[in-house]
Chain A
Amino acid sequence: MALLKLRESQIMKIHYLTAIAALFAVAVHILFRLIMPFGQSLAYPNVIANYHNIFYVLLLESILILISIHGFNGLRVILLELRQTPWWESTITILVLISMIGVIAYGTRTIVIAGGL
Chain B
Amino acid sequence: MNDAALFFQLSVQLGTPFLLATLGGIMCEKVGHLNLGIEGMMMLGSFFGFMAGFLSHNPVLAVLAAVAGGAFGALIYAVITVTLKGNQTVTGFALTIFGTGLANFLGKPYSSQIMDSTVSAALGVHSIAGLSKIPFLGIVLFSQSLFVYLSIVLAAAMLFYFQKMRFGLAARMVGESPGTADATGINVDLYKYIHIILGGALCGLGGAYLSLVYVPYWQDNITAGIGWIAVALVIFSGWNPVKAIFGCYLFGILKGMAVKFQGISLSVLGLKISIASQVMDMMPYILTVVVLILTAIAAKNRSVGPASVGKSYFREDR
Partners in one complex: no
Q: Which residues of A contact B (CB under 8 A)?
A: none
